[in-house]
Copies of this chain bind each other. A is one copy, B any other.
Amino acid sequence: MRLLFYVLICLLTGAGAQAETLETSTGPVRAELVLSGLDAPWAIAFLPGGGYLVTERGGALLHVRNGTARRVSGVPRVAAVGQGGLLDVMVPRDFATSRAVFLSFSRSEPGGGAGTAVAVGRLDVGGGALRDVRTIFTAAPGSRGGRHFGSRIVEAADDTLFVTLGERGDRPSAQDRGNHNGSVLRINRDGTVPGDNPFVGAAGVQSEIWSYGHRNPQGAVVDGQGRLWVVEHGARGGDEVNRIRRGANYGWPVIAYGRHYSGEKIGEGSAKPGMEQPMFFWDPSIAPSDVMIYSGRLWPEWRGDFFVGSLKFDMISRLEGNPLREVERISGKATDRVRDVAEAPDGSIWVVSEGQGAIYRLTPAR
């Protein structure tokens, strides 16, 4: 039944029947509905040669192409509890030859609870099944809590993978490198640890860790210079954009802007020697999901700008400059609880709206 429903909407969309205009400082933007009927969509990834993949948190991976959406088989079993479930999907640069698709998800653990995991499979030629699926990373130890899974996967310039992990609601664990909570990981495509990771050989430290002291990073992007940026759900009044550096400590919960959601003061304030400052923070918090850095041809004036989805204020925050600052908020029906923002190969901006259970394609309305 669900499958049929996706298809119908796609056909409608193909006719361009449903669109709205969003106002921006660069002129009006057309937001066209391309897929609806989704249940808690989390992430989108484009396939070279056309089509795209979408995750639903409940566990479905959809392959959409030529106005047809179908569910991909072979996805690992996920623990769809709280904020967990099937989360990110990442298509690497070499997909045309490798057919590799990476997924992050929360995975049930034998003793109860769930931990963030990463799997890789090979999308078959028909695009309907993942083959040879292997879980290449499982966070240890997991947690019984249902919060702060993190889970964004991005590909580094050197083909390693960065994976963001939240602190699972266990604040002090973000400073404890003996577990994976609250960190950005760097792993090889087979899940092994690159020999030049910062803590390789350090006693009692998980060697996948690249940076730590994070609260719940759910957005990540590698810029044109190969630098990793992460956006994370911070304290109340302290959601952050961070430039990620090898081996660095981002301070949670010792330092942060804002306050704990309880109103309680944060550890030692907003700064401490040896701990990183954010490049930008939002006060009030916007609940940022993913981040995209625009590089396309449709809006030359936006090249290099950061687009960050907001779950809380139903908008996309655009940031620019050095120092980075928020210059506008783009909103409409299309930005209802934005879970993902992505640039398509043609330079259009695609928005995954959890609130609408839909995907929109943004282009200049001119």
Task: Give me the interface of A with B, judged by CB distance under 8 Å.
Answer: 245, 249, 257, 270-281, 322-324
- Contact partner of A280 (CB less than 8 A), chosen from B249, B271, B273, B323, is B273
Q: List 11 A–B pairs whose Cβ atoms lie within 8 Å, in order of A's numbering.
A: A271-B271, A271-B277, A273-B277, A273-B280, A273-B323, A274-B278, A274-B322, A274-B324, A275-B277, A276-B277, A277-B277
Given contacts A273-B279, A274-B278, list 16 more A-B pairs with CB under 8 A.
A245-B245, A249-B323, A257-B273, A271-B271, A271-B277, A272-B277, A273-B277, A273-B280, A273-B323, A274-B277, A274-B279, A274-B322, A274-B323, A274-B324, A276-B277, A277-B277
CA distance A262 to B277 in the complex (A): 28
Can you list the 7 inter-chain pairs with the closest CB atoms, starting with the nearest? A271-B271, A274-B323, A273-B278, A274-B279, A273-B277, A273-B280, A273-B281
In the complex, the answer to whether B270 meets A280 with C-beta atoms within 8 Å is no
A13 to chain B minimum Cβ distance, whole angstroms, is 40
A131 to chain B minimum Cβ distance, whole angstroms, is 40
CA distance A195 to B55 in the complex (A): 41
Q: Which residues of B contact A279 (CB under 8 A)?
A: 273-274
A80 to chain B minimum Cβ distance, whole angstroms, is 35
CA distance A277 to B281 in the complex (A): 16
Interface of A is mostly: loop
Q: Which residues of B contact A275 (CB under 8 A)?
A: 277
Residue from the set A249, A274, A322, A324 with the largest chain B CB neighbour count within 10 Å:
A274
Q: Which residues of B contact A281 (CB under 8 A)?
A: 273
- The count of identical subunits is 2
Question: Which single residue of chain B is at the shortest CB-CB distance from A248?
Answer: B243
Q: Which residues of B contact A271 (CB under 8 A)?
A: 270-271, 277
CA distance A280 to B322 in the complex (A): 25
Question: Which single residue of chain B is at the shortest CB-CB distance from A278?
Answer: B273
CA distance A272 to B272 in the complex (A): 11
Residue from the set A249, A257, A273, A281 with the largest chain B CB neighbour count within 10 Å:
A273
Question: Which single residue of chain B is at the shortest CB-CB distance from A257?
Answer: B273
A59 to chain B minimum Cβ distance, whole angstroms, is 38
CA distance A257 to B273 in the complex (A): 10
CA distance A273 to B249 in the complex (A): 15
Q: Which residues of B contact A273 (CB under 8 A)?
A: 257, 277-281, 323
A234 to chain B minimum Cβ distance, whole angstroms, is 12
CA distance A76 to B283 in the complex (A): 55
A361 to chain B minimum Cβ distance, whole angstroms, is 33
Q: Which residues of B contact A280 (CB under 8 A)?
A: 273-274
CA distance A279 to B271 in the complex (A): 11
Q: Which residues of B contact A274 (CB under 8 A)?
A: 277-280, 322-324
CA distance A281 to B276 in the complex (A): 15
Question: Which single residue of chain B is at the shortest CB-CB distance from A273?
Answer: B278
CA distance A274 to B323 in the complex (A): 6
Q: Which residues of B contact A270 (CB under 8 A)?
A: 271
Q: Which residues of B contact A277 (CB under 8 A)?
A: 271-277
CA distance A257 to B279 in the complex (A): 19
Q: Which residues of B contact A245 (CB under 8 A)?
A: 245
